[in-house]
Amino acid sequence: MYPDRNEIACDCMSVTVGDLEDAVAAGARTVEAVVEITKAGQGCGACGGCKELIKVILSKTQ
Ligand code: FES
């Protein structure tokens, strides 16, 4: 199931799904670009979970 906008996407950096969607809407087209804008994925560095979610959100908008 696709997560809600208000759901936390990245626990470490307190980034929501909506923050990721907004970054993509603002023009981010790669995982790296979304990470740079939102800071998601820069916390634990090992979880990988939030980066997978970024990929899902990117694929949804392409
Ligand atoms: S949950 Fe995103 S960096 Fe750890």
pTM recorded for the entire structure: 0.87
Q: Residue 46 — pLDDT band, cuts 50, 70, 90?
A: low
pLDDT tens for each residue of 3-35: 799 999 999 999 999 999 999 999 999 999 999
Pick from 4, 26, 15: nearest CA to 50: 15
Contact 26 CB / ligand 1 (< 6 Å): no
| pLDDT of 48 over the 80 cut | no
Question: Residue 42 C-alpha to ligand 1 middle, in angstroms?
Answer: 6
DSSP string over 10-62: ETTTTEEHHHHHHHHHTT--SHHHHHHHH-TTSSSSS--HHHHHHHHHHHHH-
Query: Going from the N-terminus, what domains does the chain have, and what CATH number goes with each?
Result: 8-61 (1.10.10.1100)
Q: Residue 47 — pLDDT band, cuts 50, 70, 90?
A: low
pLDDT for res 60: 86
